[in-house]
Amino acid sequence: MSKKLSVSCRDGVLRLTFDRPEKKNALDRETYRALIQALDAARGDETIRAVLFAGAGGDFTAGNDLADFCDFMERPEEFPALAFVRALASFEKPMVAAVTGDAIGVGATMLFHCDLVYASAGARLRMPFIDLGLVPEAGASLLVTRRFGMARASQYLLAGEGFSGEDAFRLGLVNELAEPEAVLEMAIEAARRLAQKPAAALLAARRLMRGDPAEILARIDQEAALFAQALATPATRERISAFFARRG
């Protein structure tokens, strides 16, 4: 495992905490690989009944790490972000998220794969792919439209507008709001309740509710191909470098 991902398990809940608070919990290849490893292990572990994602230090995650993402532009086939979002889409056990502070890029799109999301009203979500000359990822072009409707999906994906935890609650992405210091405990308790349910019935119901994951996986792969094409253009690279320079 990675020092950038804190992993613990209690009461049937695997807690995965992004742990780079000095970088707003930005995800690099080391963190992605640790996440993939943890989810792969959880699949076959009958003692793990639910997974909880959280961030250390006040932010969920600000998305991709600058240095790794710039390196990704040179060797996209070596970057494990795609494998991570595919792991999310195909994971069969319930997933819960505790969101405060920034949830940017994949930090926002991964929430659409979670079953329960708890957030602070002031959490800051944004999916700025178009502004960078990219397309959405993690199946967001399908899942955001399905969850929010075309008008709001266009607002947040095409126009790239940010939205708050309160907005996400109103739109049906977030289940409940709490003060920032109470969000994690609320999410932990929800994950514990899921872990106590009859496992076979819970997983069967989840499969029925979500349908065949092949549709989402196919969309993720379609997005990834267009994402890689966009990364190959000089204009997109300039936009990404400028974005990270401002963010840094």
- Does 224 fall in a domain? no
Residue among 37, 29, 34, 42 at smallest CA distance from 5: 34
- In CATH, what number is assigned to the domain containing residue 17? 3.90.226.10
CB-CB contact of 97 with 186 (8 Å) = no
Domain count, the chain: 1
Q: Quote the Cα angle for 195-2-103, to 5°.
A: 65
Per-residue pLDDT of the chain (248 residues; tens, 9 = 90+): 678 999 999 999 999 999 999 999 999 999 999 999 999 999 999 999 999 999 999 999 999 887 676 666 556 556 789 999 999 999 999 999 999 999 999 999 999 999 999 999 999 999 999 998 999 999 999 999 999 999 999 999 999 999 999 999 999 999 999 999 999 999 999 999 999 999 999 999 999 999 999 999 999 999 999 988 888 888 887 887 777 677 55
Give the structural domain span for 173: 5-195
- Does 93 fall in a domain? yes
Q: Which two tokens stand for residue 231?
A: 């990364």
C-alpha 12/C-alpha 120 separation (Å) is: 25
- Chain CA centroid to CA 82, Å: 12
Specify the pairing of strand 176-177 against strand 13-18. Answer: unpaired
- Does 111 fall in a domain? yes
Q: Per DSSP, what are the bridge partners of residue 165?
A: none
